[in-house]
């Protein structure tokens, strides 16, 4: 019940199903759910959902072009949004607690490998090297 309650507190549509999967299939569903929820919160900062992301974005691009928007301006804007989103995602990857979640939730780490072996070295601070001029 404790695991189910954590899913419910995070807003899972079917907390029982998520908890059952973690227990019976040994999949870290709480960590997965929490990570994906954090990633979607980055997307949601750009505005509320209006349906399928690709379809609505493509339609918006076509409307802007029909209104006379310069394709290069749209591309520059899209690149800026992508950069800001990636920067936010890399910050979240480094510090999952920055999302303001309830205490006691699982976290994650990006760890270097050599072939199939873990080296034990954490890959951190990637956001520090996000050059906006690249």
pLDDT tens string 23-65: 999 999 999 998 888 888 888 887 766 666 667 888 888 999 9
127 has pLDDT over 60: yes
pLDDT of res. 100 = 59
Give the predicted TM-score (pTM) of the model: 0.74
- Residues near 60 by Cβ (< 8 Å), separated by ≥ 6? none
Model confidence pLDDT, tens digit, residues 99-126:
556 778 888 889 999 999 999 999 999 9
Q: Which two tokens stand for residue 100?
A: 């303001």
Rounded-to-5 percentages of helix, strand, coil across the chain: 60, 5, 30
- What is the pLDDT at residue 98? 59
Q: What local confidence, expressed as pLDDT, does residue 51 receive?
A: 65
The Cα 17–Cα 42 span in angstroms is 25
Comparing 96 with 28, which gets the higher pLDDT?
A: 28
């Amino acid at each position: 019940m404790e695991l189910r309650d954590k899913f419910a507190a995070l807003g899972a549509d079917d907390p029982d199903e998520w908890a059952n999967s973690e227990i019976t299939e040994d999949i870290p569903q709480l960590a997965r759910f929490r990570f994906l929820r954090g990633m979607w919160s980055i997307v949601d900062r750009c505005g509320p959902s209006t349906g399928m992301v690709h379809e609505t974005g493509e339609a918006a691009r076509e409307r802007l072009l029909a209104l006379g928007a310069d394709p290069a301006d749209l591309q520059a804007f899209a690149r800026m949004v992508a950069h800001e989103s990636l920067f936010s995602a890399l910050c979240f990857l480094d510090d999952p607690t920055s999302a303001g979640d309830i205490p006691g939730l699982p976290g994650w780490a990006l760890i270097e490998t050599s072939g199939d072996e873990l080296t034990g070295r954490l890959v951190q601070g990637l956001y520090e090297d996000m050059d906006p001029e690249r």
